A = this chain, B = another copy of it.
Amino acid sequence: MAGESDLIEWIRERSALQTKLNGLVDLGVGDDLAILKWPRDELLLVGVDQVIDGVHFDSAIHSPKQIGKKAMNRNLSDCAAMACLPAAALAAVGLPKSMTMEHAKELYQGMREAGEAFGCPIVGGDTASTPGKLTVAVTILARSAGGTPVKRSGAKAGDGIYVTGPLGGSILGRHMDFVPRIEMARKLAPVATAMIDLSDGLSRDLVHICKASGVGAILEADAIPIHKDANQLSKKDGVSALEHALSDGEDYELLFTAGRDPDKKIAVKIGRIVAEKGIWIEDRQKAKQTLKPRGWEHQVGK
């Protein structure tokens, strides 16, 4: 059995190489806390997001590297949702006793490489042995970097609703392997009035924007881009591809609203914001029906 301190020592050595990824890190992994020099007059954005074995991935199928990558990329996707740039990350990992040191290192390597792709070093963390399931909680710090963060609360009646890519069927593999839309987000920020990344599913994430903004929305069924994975899944389970696109979640595309059309190469229009609260979907004949949020929700005992 190898101790936690060996793993931490290994992580510390790797992390030391990362501290020069951006000019912010004064002291990285290895003390009680990391120290960052925060750039003057830049807003600090921060969030945490976890992945758990049997919920967000399956350790019997997915490699430790894939798991680490997903854990980091979900957080980078949150940076995209606010149109800010990642600055530093931290990871709290609960390692089951059955996990080998080699796999723990691969997990860390997956996080590290995903962060590096966006100039984001891992500056701290906590590793502990758990009698439960493999759990990876990544905290992300991000900077406004000359832009204004795009919140969920800015959608106005008359705005268009847009999405950056085709949706549905991510469970076939894309949910483990996606590119956080940070570059797109930075280009969209000047026109976007509200934004979110699609993790819970279009129908539910649109509710988040509408609730925060105090507005309603009408989606156009024909305009919603359907991923080929949704079509493939539809053939298997008989649920329509549109239903998959509306409900599956974990697309990690951006859903946003804007007062004028953004670059068509980046996003397609799928509906419009209205003053009346509620979410509807309309067909080609403009027949409206209420859209029930069906995206994925973790259940908590009563």
Q: Which residues of A contact B (CB under 8 A)?
A: 1-7, 26-27, 30-38, 40-50, 52-56, 78-79, 81-82, 84, 88, 90-92, 94-95, 97-101, 104, 123-133, 135, 137, 139-142, 149, 151-153, 196-197, 212, 297-302
Which residue of B has the minimal Cβ distance to A99? B301
**In the complex, A92 Cα to B79 Cα: how many Å?**
17
Q: Is the CB of B46 within 8 A of A141?
A: yes
Specify which chain B residues have a CB less than 8 angstroms from the CB of A104 in the assembled complex: 300
CB distance from A213 to the nearest CB of B (A): 11
CB distance from A106 to the nearest CB of B (A): 13
Specify which chain B residues have a CB less than 8 angstroms from the CB of A101 in the assembled complex: 300-302
For the complex formed by this chain, how many copies does it contain in all?
2
CB distance from A234 to the nearest CB of B (A): 26
Partner of A78, one of B33, B100, B298: B33
Q: Is the CB of A49 within 8 A of B130?
A: no
The winner among A1, A52, A137 for most chain B CB atoms within 10 A is A137
Specify which chain B residues have a CB less than 8 angstroms from the CB of A140 in the assembled complex: 33
Minimum-distance CB pairs A-B, first 9: A132-B132, A132-B133, A92-B137, A32-B81, A33-B47, A33-B45, A129-B298, A137-B137, A139-B139
CB distance from A253 to the nearest CB of B (A): 14
Specify which chain B residues have a CB less than 8 angstroms from the CB of A7 in the assembled complex: 300
Question: Would A31 and B82 be within 8 Å (CB), given that A298-B127, A300-B1 are in contact?
Answer: yes
Which residue of B has the minimal Cβ distance to A297? B3
Partner of A124, one of B48, B92, B135: B48
Q: Is the CB of B4 within 8 A of A299?
A: yes
Q: Is the CB of B300 within 8 A of A99?
A: yes
Partner of A33, one of B53, B79, B95, B132: B79
Question: Would A31 and B299 be within 8 Å (CB), given that A132-B132, A133-B132 are in contact?
Answer: no
Specify which chain B residues have a CB less than 8 angstroms from the CB of A34 in the assembled complex: 45-47
Q: Is the CB of B32 within 8 A of A197?
A: yes
Q: Is the CB of B47 within 8 A of A43?
A: no
**In the complex, A5 Cα to B123 Cα: how many Å?**
31
Which residue of B has the minimal Cβ distance to A296? B4
**In the complex, A141 Cα to B33 Cα: how many Å?**
9
Q: Could you give 6 example pairs across A and B, Cβ below 8 Å?
A: A3-B298, A38-B44, A48-B91, A48-B92, A92-B137, A127-B300
Which residue of B has the minimal Cβ distance to A200? B5
Question: Would A132 and B4 be within 8 Å (CB), given that A47-B32, A97-B299 are in contact?
Answer: no
The winner among A47, A56, A128, A300 for most chain B CB atoms within 10 A is A300
Q: Is the CB of B46 within 8 A of A123?
A: yes
